[in-house]
Amino acid sequence: MTKPDPFKLPPRIKVVARRIADAAGTAIDAYAREVITDEPSITDRWIGAVVSALATGPRRFGPAATGISWDAKTLRSSSGSAAEEKRHGADLLGVAEIHIGDSVIRKGFLAQAKRTEPGETLSNDRWRELKAQSELMLERSPVSYVLAYSKRQGIRFIPAIAVANLDRRDLFDFNSLPLEQFFQWHLACFIGDHRLNSPHIDTLDVLHDFHIGQVLEIVVRTEGP
């Protein structure tokens, strides 16, 4: 007798996550063909492809769920007061909006992207920069990730908290989720920060001085590799 899957997701969530993955894959394909070559261009390409795919594809799945949409903001990396990426550590703020009946859920995540391949060790300067960016993102939200852009592995989501606290320098040594699986969990509400509810820089600026009132500490110790 087959045991039921405790993490079974609604088919409609899988449909949307598959559309997102297919759309984002066009950006990685362009990166692999060297049509685009840097992180901002890859990020803009996959965000635009996903937003377009969800805008033109079916988003209604029956009377219980009235629709799913997703939007994102890329943070500017310019200098001075306009240096949004430097201020918050992220270069992407993604926000999902899920309508279920008369209810609406809005929540998001932060991400910082890096081009890399399995077995590639980031230089000391790139690693220090990424750790600092991860720490900044985590000051805004615990729902923060490093995105590994790989010609071979696609887009992988790595928890920023792991990058901020471990010194491995090969991003593929970390636990990670492929983009499609990440969005399955994101749209099913296992992942997301309800404070990140709008793809605008003001959303992050408000969190700049946010202070947590209570903390739950869980200690996990492991042995071996």
Q: Give residue-wise pLDDT tens across range 46-104.
A: 999 999 998 875 555 455 545 888 989 888 766 554 578 888 889 999 999 988 877 88
Q: How do strand 144-150 and strand 154-159 relate by DSSP bridges?
A: antiparallel
56 SS3 class: helix
Select the highest-mean-pLDDT range: 5-9, 36-40, 59-63, 217-221: 36-40
66-70, 177-181, 195-199, range with the lowest pLDDT: 66-70
Prediction pTM value: 0.84
User: Pick the residue with more confidence: 109 or 3?
Assistant: 109
pLDDT at 4 over 80: no
Cα separation of 98 and 202, whole Å?
Answer: 21
pLDDT at 214 over 50: no
Question: Using an 8 Å Cβ cutoff, are 142 and 161 in contact?
Answer: yes
Neighbouring C-alpha atoms within 13 Å toward the C-beta of 214? 1
Residue 193 is classified by DSSP as B
Q: Determine the straight-line distance between the first and last CA of the chain, rounded to whole angstroms.
A: 35
Domain ranges for the chain: 11-207
pLDDT at 217: 47
Tens-place pLDDT, residues 92-137:
999 999 888 778 899 999 999 999 999 999 999 999 999 999 999 9
Q: Taking the CB of residue 199, how many other CB atoms lie within 10 A of it?
A: 19
pLDDT at 69: 87
User: Pick the residue with more confidence: 219 or 141?
Assistant: 141
Whole-number Cα distances in Å, 125 to 121, 122, 206: 11, 8, 30
pLDDT at 60: 53
